[in-house]
Structure 1
Amino acid sequence: MNDVMTALSARTSPLPQFIGAEIYRGSTYGAWHPLRVPRVSTVMDLSRALGWLPAAQFITSPRAKVAALTGFHTPAYLAALQAAETAQSVSQAVRARHALGTPSNPVFPEMFRRPATAAGGSLLAGELLKYGGIIYSPAGGTHHGLPDRANGFCYLNDPVLAIQSLRRNGAQRVAYVDIDAHHPDGVEQAFAQDPDTLLISTHEINRWPRSGAITDQGAGQVFNLPVPAGLHDDDMALILQALILPAVTGFRPDAIVLQCGADAVTEDPQSRLCLSNNAHWAVVAALRDIAPRYLVLGGGGYNPWSVGRLWTGVWAVLNKRAIPDHLPDPAADVLRALRWDGAPKRLQPQDHWMTTLRDAPRHGKVHDAVRVGVAQLKPRIFRA
């Protein structure tokens, strides 16, 4: 009952709302998988340790019901996903059809309940934003999920479900911006032909799933910018000012959904991009006041310290809080308690990962590939 009352009060709250759940604290894809690391629980703990997450701004995510998930996913796939969680195994036929029980999408104890909770948060966000506001759901952002298959660590596609929920609750035009290191193939598949959905993605060139070509247009509202290895803060600043902001403001959205994957920073093992977390926070801040509805999701991020610090800073930006130069002891203790078994040698913990949120900015000469890509897309902005 308390969670219901909190959700109802959030409909009229002027404060940003944080959707989270305890299921993420002990759940892991397995000891060898990139998603073996704690992420959402770290953001919750760190935000609370900083005094940034009072009860009035926290909503416990519901678990989505199967019927709600059929807005994008097939009943056969959802049944297979539930059965795999119950049996903790899959047949060869299920593996072949639905990509369950693979190295990327393994069988694990919460393999339905965990993504269904993230999807439930995104569905709820669409409802709570009916009258406007800001919602943060760092467990969301599973942008690779396909209607009948798991894909790229994503069993469900909560960004698609969030956009559908926003639509049901009054948002006709939705801008989806994705700054994850990987292309949101599942979201593009769902909305590429929808002229009322703007899709903007920056993603590393030749990085899995190797989709998202700059020439993709769909119904004219798809803007893919493959970016080179080594992408740094000055590159992203140009992309933000010359591509993302003109495209979003020109689209005049009723709602903005930002997928803020944390795997494009230097410290992440799953990309070769070199952003600092300042670049992500600049995008979060720039989009915050453009539309009446703003939903920020998580996404990729596989270094527990970099993703925890980045996503906690996102929550600070959404609340317009100053980020301290040094963390107080309770917050630093949250970071010191993290473990990353099997971390790459180049990414062994550093002292400032334990004592700060903000990275040092990563400047450099803007890559020619970025300038050329932005120039190639820019003429389309004003035709969209």
Structure 2
Amino acid sequence: MENIRVYSHSACLSKENGEGHPERKERLQSIMDSIQSLDTINIDFKEAPLAKYKDVNRVHPQSYLDEIFEMIPDDGLVGVEKEPYADTLLCQNSKEAILRACGAGIGASIDLMSGNFKRLFCAIRPPGHHAETTRVNGFCFINNAAVAARYLQSQFDINRVAIIDFDVHHGNGTQEIFYNDESVLYGSIHQYPLFPGTGMESEKGVGNIFNAPIDSGTTSEDFLKIFNEKILKNVDKFKPEVILISAGFDAHKRDPLAAINLDSEDYFLLTQAIVEIADRHCSGRVISFLEGGYDLLALSESIEAHFKGLSL
């Protein structure tokens, strides 16, 4: 059984989005409570460092970061996006939360390549997979997984990175960032049509993008079959040296923002299948990043199943 290191930070709890917003601090609190209750898995906790601008700039230009941080209010909330999706918000504590969330992936990358841990989880918010190179989107400011991928490639002898995204919403940001980069495979299974409206199978990049859009009401059995056939088989052929997971838990049947019918235990099966590929091709190296998931009970149960899969 593998030990798991968890990166998080209290600053990630200080990011406010206002009453009634689905991306709220209770999500992270629920997850941390569940992780801490897992007495059958050896879990090590570490504070996420602040991401350095030079590391973020491998994905996002400094002018983009400056524009975001200059909008941070002294009090209250400021919406960053234009209508109809003006729900990506900044509060006075946003800067540290954003940089800690990104820094978690950088810290995890260093630990991964040191050989101390093969499995790491970034328990963070705000999430990242909707953030494009120069566009805030879908609660996301910095693409945490993308920055980690670039960090691994620039600082270590890593050439091929696979990013597997099972959030119910397509990771338009991750796809946009790596669309013309054959060194990074991006595979996403997601409900379609649904926000953000991208992720058709015809979006293939340079042969490195694999999208598996699924219908509203998709069952667990069909989800797992499609995930294997359209995502994991292509990851297996790619033979990655590191696997990153955009781990959203909003394909759960309880989630209020989508209509897919996964049960909590299905996240064990999803994770187990990813870990098998990691063991085969990249010495078991996996970093998982929290993305979506908006029902607290579903999050609590699903994260336990995810960790049981990671620990294999």
Contact 2:74 2:92 survives alignment (8 Å): no
Match for residue 170 of structure 1? 157
Residue 108 (structure 2) pairs with residue 99 (structure 1): no
CA distance in 2, matches of 1:22, 1:37: 10
Residue 130 (structure 2) pairs with residue 147 (structure 1): no
Match of 2:270 among 283, 292, 310: 283
Match for residue 32 of structure 1? 20
CA distance in 1, matches of 2:145, 2:28: 17
What amino acid sits opposite 2:311 in the alignment? N
Deviation per CA, 1:354-384: give whole Å up to 9, x if none.
xxxxxxxxxxxxxxxxxxxxxxxxxxxxxxx
CA distance in 1, matches of 2:211, 2:97: 30
Contact 1:37 1:303 survives alignment (8 Å): no
Q: CA deviation at 1:196?
A: 1.5
Match for residue 252 of structure 2? 265
Higher Cα Rg, which structure: 1
Which runs of structure 2 are paired with 1:19-168 in the superposition (5 Å)? 19-51=7-39, 57-85=44-72, 87-88=74-75, 99=81, 103-132=86-115, 133-139=118-124, 141-168=127-154
Match for residue 316 of structure 1? 308
**Structure 2 CA distance for partners of 1:20 and 1:53, relative to 1, 3 Å:** farther
Deviation per CA, 1:295-316: give whole Å up to 9, x if none.
1111111112211221233123
Q: CA deviation at 1:281?
A: 1.7
Contact 1:130 1:170 survives alignment (8 Å): no
What secondary structure sits across from 1:35 in the alignment?
A: coil
Deviation per CA, 1:257-316: give whole Å up to 9, x if none.
111101111111111111112222211111112322211111111112211221233123
**Structure 2 CA distance for partners of 1:199 and 1:297, relative to 1, 3 Å:** same
Deviation per CA, 1:195-248: give whole Å up to 9, x if none.
111111111111011011111111111111110001121012212332333211
In the superposition, the TM-score normalised over structure 1's length comes to 0.73
CA distance in 1, matches of 2:133, 2:37: 39
Higher relative contact order (CA 8 A, sep 6+): 2
Match of 1:227 among 202, 214, 233: 214
Higher-helix-fraction structure: 1
CA distance in 2, matches of 1:243, 1:84: 40
What amino acid sits opposite 1:138 in the alignment? A
Higher-strand-fraction structure: 2
CA distance in 2, matches of 1:171, 1:312: 30
Match for residue 250 of structure 1? 237
Contact 1:174 1:198 survives alignment (8 Å): yes
- Between the two proteins, the alignment pairs up a number of residues equal to 301
Q: CA deviation at 1:112?
A: 1.8
**Structure 2 CA distance for partners of 1:50 and 1:223, relative to 1, 3 Å:** closer
Contact 1:178 1:201 survives alignment (8 Å): yes
CA distance in 1, matches of 2:224, 2:159: 29
**Tell me, which stretches of 5 or more residues in structure 2 are unaligned?**
none
**Structure 2 CA distance for partners of 1:301 and 1:310, relative to 1, 3 Å:** same
- Which region of structure 1 is more displaced relative to structure 2, 24-33 or 226-235? 24-33
**Tell me, which stretches of 5 or more residues in structure 1 are unaligned?**
1-13, 321-384
Match for residue 298 of structure 1? 290
Deviation per CA, 1:86-136: give whole Å up to 9, x if none.
534799xxx7xx638973112323222212111000122222222451111
